[in-house]
């Protein structure tokens, strides 16, 4: 039986589980420092499996996999919703009490808050099993767009690198990603169950993803300003990390904007927009 423990204010949590309370970030950072480069091997294997399966499925009928798809998306939706509920309070509290500078320059979300730290750690690790999204697309013979597999690979590599560096601004990226994924996977689960939500729902989710990319670019710009003004020891973010993150978010912004235009605007005009992928990462 899981014991609930009251946390003192101002942590903004009404309770904390034992596995959250007992979280110690030191060993997780050590593990990631020693193993983050394995992400390149995982991504290589991922690409080989995905495109190998795609070739194998070329002359075969696609699988339905309805039950597995419902289970997969429901689990990821639940995980994302819980992750958002356990990390967002820390971000909101920091913004309210300490301001924007603290939220992008101080790693208290991992070092001083075991609840946020635990779910931030799970967030980073979750990018590995999330690669399984693509397997469903390939086995069901649905369109595999560049945005999908590019996003999966770059997110895994960047999140693992950022955790190794203990990047302070990552709290923003974690909370935003949890939020968008909770909506996105819930939508996919509903679709897999046979429901057909109105088009406005998928448009809202894609618009939320675009907003996420815009905010990500703003956070990187703001963080760079603090770093430039205060020097390398003023902000727990490296210049290399800002460059990588800015490049990643800007590329996502362009790709998602293109996807939104092709899927909704061009298609609504009767243009020849290609069939949408069932996974709009």
Catalytic residues: 151
Show the CA angle centred on residue 50, arms to residues 174 and 34, nearest 5°. Answer: 50
Query: How far apart are alpha carbons 218 and 98 in whole angstroms?
Result: 19
Are 106 and 223 in contact by the 8 Å Cβ rule? The answer is no
* Distance from the Cα of residue 94 to its chain's centroid: 21
Query: How far apart are alpha carbons 194 and 70 in whole angstroms?
Result: 10
Are 83 and 123 in contact by the 8 Å Cβ rule? The answer is yes
What separation, in Å, do the N-terminal and C-terminal C-alpha atoms of the chain show? 37
Give the dihedral of Cα atoms 197, 175, 164, 102; nearest 10 deg.
160
- Nearest CA-CA partner of 167 in 197, 118, 126, 124: 124
Are 187 and 66 in contact by the 8 Å Cβ rule? The answer is no
Query: How far apart are alpha carbons 86 and 251 in whole angstroms?
Result: 29
């Amino acid at each position: 039986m899981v014991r609930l423990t009251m946390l003192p204010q101002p942590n903004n949590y009404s309770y904390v589980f034992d596995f959250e309370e007992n979280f110690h970030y030191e060993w997780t950072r050590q593990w990631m420092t020693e193993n983050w480069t394995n992400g390149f091997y995982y991504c290589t294997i991922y690409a080989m499996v995905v495109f190998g399966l795609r070739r194998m499925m070329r002359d075969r009928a696609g699988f339905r996999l309805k039950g597995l798809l419902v289970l997969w998306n429901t689990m990821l939706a639940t995980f994302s919703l819980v992750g958002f509920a356990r990390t967002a309070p820390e971000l909101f509290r920091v913004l309210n009490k300490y301001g924007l500078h603290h939220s992008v320059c101080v790693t208290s979300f991992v070092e001083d808050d075991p609840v946020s730290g635990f779910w931030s750690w799970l967030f980073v690790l979750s990018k590995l099993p999330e690669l399984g999204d693509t397997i469903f697309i390939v086995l069901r013979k649905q369109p595999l767009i560049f945005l999908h597999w590019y996003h999966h690979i770059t997110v895994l590599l960047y999140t693992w690198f950022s955790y190794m560096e203990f990047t302070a601004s990552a709290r923003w990226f974690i909370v935003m990603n949890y939020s968008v994924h909770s909506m996105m996977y819930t939508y996919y689960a509903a679709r897999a169950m046979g429901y057909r939500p109105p088009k406005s729902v998928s448009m809202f989710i894609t618009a939320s993803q675009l907003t996420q990319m815009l905010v990500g670019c703003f956070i990187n710009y703001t963080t760079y300003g603090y770093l430039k003004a205060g020097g390398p020891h003023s902000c727990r973010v490296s210049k290399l990390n800002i460059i990588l993150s800015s490049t990643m978010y800007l590329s996502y912004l362009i790709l998602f904007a293109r996807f939104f235009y092709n899927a909704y605007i061009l298609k609504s005009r009767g243009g020849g927009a290609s069939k949408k992928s069932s996974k709009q990462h």
